[in-house]
């Protein structure tokens, strides 16, 4: 953690395991999303960021970026992106996100995502909340 006379907390981050993009690649929603994302970042970067893990896990990559920017802690929020897979597979879950928070409790704060209740249903959201 960076040492300074103030504390920096990133209040919304979404660590994502790069492997999920390979699983979601065949879906039309994913293709549309990746195409639009490339259009958004093209003016800002010379090449599209790698979707590979590159030997480091998503939480370790985020910590490296946090260290480089002087960020002390980050709130991590699972990202559903259910539109990518037509509602079948989220790109991250509360349970997966919790593994990173438990591994690095001094760097991450868990902010569970209960938002897609409309698609999952209240009973499923309650069941998931009770499992951790």
Please check whether residue 99 lies inside any domain of the structure. Answer: yes
| 51: in domain | yes
Domain membership of residue 76 as a residue range: 9-130
The total number of structural domains that make up the chain? 1
Q: Does the model's pTM come out above 0.85?
A: no
Nearest by Cα to 61 from 104, 3, 106: 104
Q: For residue 3, tell me if it sits in a domain.
A: no
Distances (CA, A) of 125 to 17, 98, 117, 130: 22, 16, 6, 9
Q: What is the pLDDT of residues 58-81, one digit of tens each?
A: 899 899 989 999 999 999 998 888
Residue 2 lies in a domain: no
pLDDT at 42: 65
DSSP code of 42? T
In a domain, residue 101? The reply is yes
Q: Are 124 and 90 in contact (CB under 8 A)?
A: no
Query: Residues 6-53: pLDDT tens digits?
Result: 999 999 998 888 888 888 888 898 888 888 877 777 666 655 556 565
Q: Among 17-21, 85-89, 127-131, where is mean pLDDT lowest?
A: 127-131
């Amino acid at each position: 953690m960076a040492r300074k006379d103030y504390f920096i907390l990133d209040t919304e981050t979404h660590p994502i395991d790069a492997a999920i993009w390979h699983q979601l690649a065949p879906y039309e929603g994913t293709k549309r999303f990746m195409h639009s994302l490339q259009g958004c970042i093209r003016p800002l970067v010379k090449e599209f960021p790698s979707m590979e893990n590159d030997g480091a896990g998503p939480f370790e990559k985020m910590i490296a970026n946090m260290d480089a920017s002087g960020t002390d802690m980050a709130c991590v929020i699972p990202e559903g992106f259910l539109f990518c897979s037509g509602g079948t597979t989220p790109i991250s879950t509360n349970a997966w996100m919790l593994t990173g928070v438990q591994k690095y409790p001094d760097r991450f704060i868990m902010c569970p995502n209960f938002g897609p209740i409309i698609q999952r249903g209240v009973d499923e959201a309650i069941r998931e909340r009770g499992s951790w």
